Structure 1
């Protein structure tokens, strides 16, 4: 059963709503243990006294603020609470805004708010008010030792508290090298926009989060199972430079042709000619070595050129070596 990580109340004007805070997400990241490469023993970390070098138990550890080099003020959990009791126990709503006004880059971590004893009715009142007003509540709350700006919004029957980043934590996009704002200045034609919109329309569907899952994690776990079955648990796979995929060129030569292909249309002859010409100019042709048997066949073929062929046979597709994804070691 989930455990509340914070207890307090939502302050809504003169109304107080007793609530508990629960994490809204679960971490499904691969839990990899660091090992010593020499004998594959797990590596451990210990808390120790830097003066004596001796290990310190959890119950002997306290927190301190370094107010000058090597001088600390000890702060207990009670000290941190008494510094501002109301801030540590209250989700203080400051204002209400349209959800569309809060950029996605500000959202940080979601939590579920659950009504505590006696808070069901006022909890439901705030939930329905937010829903009908189509607003989010902007509030402040102290969780552990940090004050957070947060947004309260409704999802299904729950009020979600989503911590927000402060404005000074968001980098200015002016520092980035981005294309020009207008389509014309960026070199985008109306035809390209129209075709891109058609592609978007064709790929539009209802949001169904259940259809997406972490396929990379599944592939890694399948690899683990394969290595266990093959008794290769202590085998370290090194990078294979021969099969390493080369990065694609960042330059796009024929955007219209690519859009047409994406829409299931064949490129026009003019477009295809441009693409093949540029591709041919970009890729150097590798010399092919011919063996004795192949050379003899080539000579015989040259002698028979004088005789007209009854039927023109289609050239067999060239065989290409499949690219094997590079195996990487995880730390």
Structure 2
């Protein structure tokens, strides 16, 4: 794993040197823009429209547009001087219950590993968080982006989850067409609740797959092998605007009912596919 940040966690007078690693990987399939006439990838260049010339990286500066077409410029040194202490230290401000944090605040997870001789302090913080069942709330700066962070335990590792600041969360009041009050049919509600119960089971992340990415990888493999593709789009579902909600609920419930002498009717064997060369290539590309 590549280290993306190096510093320390601080809580009270305890100092825990850590290294940070990205906990997730992007497996999106990326396409290059190609000139169809010759098959050459199109390059993206930095060009100044005013000077009508390409611009080298050393000629660039960062600017903030305070009025349309007017910018104030900052050098990298000026921006670095404004960075808070959280650029080097993760200062835990409070400990809270995980249930107190709405998931809308969470952004991206990172793994934290002990650095240098910080193993004992790391183990102390990990065990203290685990046994108190609390979440540490801290501030951190990563790549010039300052954010809140939640520090929790995942298995035997400290995990840092970056969070939005409250003013970055848009108000629900701005969402159009929300009902002012809910008025539902009691019989429909009971069937809907029963349907939820029938569909409820422990979270098993391995059962969920990216079907679109799998289809793209399969199509790529066919193209590499020189095979022609016969791709037919699925017909659009022409649903009626008038829905018999009770009938739809009852039909849904009937489809997932558990027979008395068997397991869940919804249990299905998970089909697995062998890795293709394209899948291996995609995985290597995202890991680098």
Q: How does 1:90-239 map to 2 (within 5 A)?
A: 90-176=89-175, 177-182=177-182, 185=183, 188-229=184-225, 232=228
Q: How does 1:1-331 map to 2 (within 5 A)?
A: 2-48=1-47, 51=51, 53-54=53-54, 56=56, 60=58, 63-65=61-63, 69=70, 72-76=73-77, 79-84=78-83, 86-176=85-175, 177-182=177-182, 185=183, 188-229=184-225, 232=228, 244-249=235-240, 251=241, 253-264=243-254
Q: C-alpha displacement at 1:74, in angstroms?
A: 2.0
Q: C-alpha displacement at 1:132, in angstroms?
A: 2.2
Over 3 Å counting, the alpha-carbon distance change for 1:18 and 1:81 in structure 2 is farther
Over 3 Å counting, the alpha-carbon distance change for 1:10 and 1:65 in structure 2 is same
TM-score norm. by structure 2 comes to 0.76
State whether residues 137 and 149 of structure 2, in contact with CA within 8 Å, keep that contact through their aligned partners in structure 1.
yes
Length, aligned pairs only: 250
More strand by share: 2
Over 3 Å counting, the alpha-carbon distance change for 1:160 and 1:61 in structure 2 is farther
Any runs of at least 4 consecutive aligned residues in structure 1 with deviations exceeding 6 A, and if so which? none
Alignment correspondent of 2:266: none
TM-score norm. by structure 1 comes to 0.67
Between 1 and 2, higher relative CO (CA 8 Å, sep ≥ 6) is seen in 2
- For residue 44 of structure 2, give the secondary structure of its aligned residue in structure 1: coil
> Unpaired segments of 5 or more residues in structure 2?
256-288
Over 3 Å counting, the alpha-carbon distance change for 1:67 and 1:225 in structure 2 is closer
Q: C-alpha displacement at 1:54, in angstroms?
A: 3.9
Give the Cα–Cα distance (whole angstroms) in 2 for the partners of residues 63 and 247 of structure 1: 53
Over 3 Å counting, the alpha-carbon distance change for 1:212 and 1:117 in structure 2 is same
State whether residues 67 and 73 of structure 1, in contact with CA within 8 Å, keep that contact through their aligned partners in structure 2.
no
Q: C-alpha displacement at 1:210, in angstroms?
A: 1.3
Q: CA RMSD in A?
A: 2.8
- For residue 8 of structure 1, give the secondary structure of its aligned residue in structure 2: strand
Structure with higher Rg: it is 1
- CA displacement 1:256-291 (0-9 Å, x = unmatched): 2112111227xxxxxxxxxxxxxxxxxxxxxxxxxx
- CA displacement 1:85-108 (0-9 Å, x = unmatched): 623111111111221121111111
